[in-house]
Structure 1
């Protein structure tokens, strides 16, 4: 049913992604789909690397650990954005198109009042891409 599953990941919060990562892996196994972990970083040094290359190496190591843990075929797609917090919606949309994702599995939060003002990243993707979007709470 699905061929390419995109999973946006924030390497600073991997512990909060377990449910979404497991669901994506289970769906990939069922459909024999490729999983592409998408990470966004800035060009300047940060907590996850002094350079985008260092961040990319950590993202690749994360994908390798998921491949080993779940027995899936996983790769990465790194995005460098001038301001990741501002550009995230646009960059995730571009990534979904670039990698021809037909499913996006992403962790989300329980909705609150601020969602009426600032729409969720998953909601933005659902409104602007042809890919199916699976939002996972918890």
Structure 2
């Protein structure tokens, strides 16, 4: 078997913030390339809820945004892309556990997640990507 034929991952979980900060866009490009190379399925996962100051979005609106993002990612990766929206009562408090649980629930064997450059608060509180890298039961590819 040639080295390029080795398949290590079959299902990539890609956590996404629907506000699409630059970290998400860059990580999406990486996820598309890895999925194409590995012939892996991608599941886009979003944790949403009502936060102070955020406009209230319906599940239908959120699902439309996720579907559009997943469709674009499928086009870029040339692979199957599904999406999952997890509704949270308190996103800030629950997002890390929700993402870790989602990876287990969907059977992902790789998580590709975007992150920002370290900030002072990251030395006190872990970033979401840092939490996943430290606690997930599967490989985590952090894109900065």
- Secondary structure, aligned partner of 1:11: coil
1:21 maps to 2:28 = yes
Q: How many residues align?
A: 136
Task: Give matches, 1:1-138, under 5 Å.
Answer: 1-42=8-49, 47=55, 50-137=57-144
Consecutive unaligned residues of structure 2, counting only runs of 5 or more, are 1-7
Largest Rg, 1 or 2 = 2
Shift of 1:74: 0.6
Match of 2:4 in 1: none
Contact residue 12 and residue 40 of structure 2 kept, 8 A: yes
- Secondary structure, aligned partner of 2:122: helix
For normalisation by structure 1, the TM-score amounts to: 0.88
Contact residue 35 and residue 77 of structure 2 kept, 8 A: no
Shift of 1:50: 3.0
Shift of 1:75: 0.7
Consecutive unaligned residues of structure 1, counting only runs of 5 or more, are none
For normalisation by structure 2, the TM-score amounts to: 0.85
